[in-house]
Amino acid sequence: MKSIIVVDDDPTAGKILVRMLRADYRVQAFVSPRQALAHFMEHGADIVITDLKMPEMDGMELLGRVKEINSETMVFIVTGYASVDGAVRAMKMGAQDYLAKPFNPDDVLVKLTRAIREQRLEKQCSSYRQREDRSAGGSAIITGNEQMLAIMAMARKAARTDSTILILGETGVGKELLVKKIHQWSPRRDNLLVPVNCSAVAGGIMESELFGHEKGAFTGADKTRIGFFEMADKGTLFLDEIGSTDIRLQVNLLRVLQERMIYRVGSPRPIRINVRLVAAANQDLEEEVRAGRFRRDLYYRLSVVTITIPPLRERMDDIALLADHFLQKYQHINPSIRRISTAGYGVLQAYKYPGNIRELENIIERAMIIETTDTLQPESLLIPRRERAGRDKINTPAATDRPGDIREMEKNHIMAVLAACNGKKIEAARRLGINKTTLWRKMKRYNIQYP
């Protein structure tokens, strides 16, 4: 229950407010501003309601003192001498709102409730902004792959519009990272990107999480709560693993996309929203539609722009770039490690990555812990292999899922790096961690012909 301090040199006015508010708040009234301030310094309060005209200390001074102690405390200025000038001055000094005597109970309660709701929303939004700020440093998409570059160009064009985007791809390919870039490229970049993993929320409460609920809407709903759609207003809402939603929720999502309005659980009142929706799935949604597990009309609404991110095994030229990136990212684990050996690159190039980029990142992070030299060697890149018996086993890289020894892996890797560098040998040597003479010697040894 929120706490309120009422300050008014007229005891009757204080008593009226106490009677008006005590059913929903913990209220304490003072006729002395100094006593009220002393109480506030010791015990604090969520809200201070203070008269404007008082002989001991006027409301403006008390407002300033309260804000110095706790800037988050909401202060309401009350006066029987209602004037526009007084209201403007109070608001400029940080007052939440302005109340005039005689009190209208409905007006007072509505203003308090609205202020508390807005403050709660701001705190939730602030939490999301902090998460976005913390992750912004790692939001670059590392690629030199032509298909991925074309995908990013398409995503950048789509970002300028408010069209719904559907992103498809296996787990770990970087769908959420692309969504972050789309939001950063969009006109909504200054507002929130709110990510929601649909498979991580139990079906029974997903509607409440997305649309919010009113107090008393169901057992345990002890207060009104906004949902993710309201939180993302004027920003972007990202629904990850949209294919895991049930048919009932899909109907509600379709209605939101059509009407641009939501209804909180337990409320008949529509709330208009301004949200850009991006959805992602790791399964074939067209197959889900044919199987009757996903609504065809919702699929068409979501797939105005469809982007399919290829798995890492189809982007082999990105493996060296990503491995170097993750080595830099986790260098704090072992600062002495500066590079990956040529044979190590070969091992990484030979693996098929069922877990995609996320798995490659885990492999590099683990290798940074295990490696004892200044270079990541094949022996520290413990890559899992699917055994014939059907169980996973951790093996040394000599037993990868592509035939050939370390020499064959090294040859394949050099060829891949040369291709990624368009045959530029100085750049290829830099990426390989060797000098140009050594690269020329290895190309001659393996009979690699590159103009």
Q: What distance in Å separates the CA atoms of residue 74 and residue 238, rounded to the nearest whole number?
A: 33
pLDDT over 70, % of the chain: 86
Q: What letters, b where the CB count within 10 A reaches 16 and e where it falls short, cover 287-326?
A: ebbeeebbbeebbebbbebebebbbbeebbbbbbbbbbbb
> How many beta carbons lie within 10 A of that of residue 22, not counting itself?
12
Range of 51-65, 194-208, 309-323 with top mean pLDDT: 309-323
The residue type found at 345 is: Y
Backbone φ and ψ for 233, nearest 5 degrees, come out as -55, 130
pLDDT on residue 401: 40
Stronger pLDDT, 133 or 226, i.e. the higher one: 226
- Asked whether the predicted pLDDT for residue 131 surpasses 60, the reply is no
When the candidates are 3.40.50.2300, 1.10.8.60, 3.40.640.10, 1.20.1250.20, the CATH number that belongs to 3-115 is 3.40.50.2300
pLDDT tens, residue by residue, 284-297: 999 999 999 999 99
> What DSSP assignment string belongs to 38-86?
HHHHHH--SEEEEES--SSS-HHHHHHHHHHH-TTSEEEEEESS--HHH
Q: What distance in Å separates the CA atoms of residue 348 and residue 359, rounded to the nearest whole number?
A: 11
CATH number of this structure's domain 314-445: 1.10.8.60
Q: Is the pTM of this model over 0.85?
A: no
pLDDT on residue 136: 44
Range with the poorest average pLDDT among 116-120, 256-260, 320-324, 329-333: 116-120
Question: Average per-residue pLDDT in the chain?
Answer: 83
pLDDT tens, residue by residue, 374-391: 899 888 887 764 422 233
Delimiting residues of CATH 1.10.8.60 domain(s) in the chain: 314-445
Delimiting residues of CATH 3.40.50.2300 domain(s) in the chain: 3-115
Delimiting residues of CATH 3.40.50.300 domain(s) in the chain: 143-308
**CATH architecture for residues 143-308:** 3-Layer(aba) Sandwich (3.40)
Residues 146-171: what's their mean pLDDT? 94
pLDDT tens, residue by residue, 65-80: 998 888 889 999 887 6
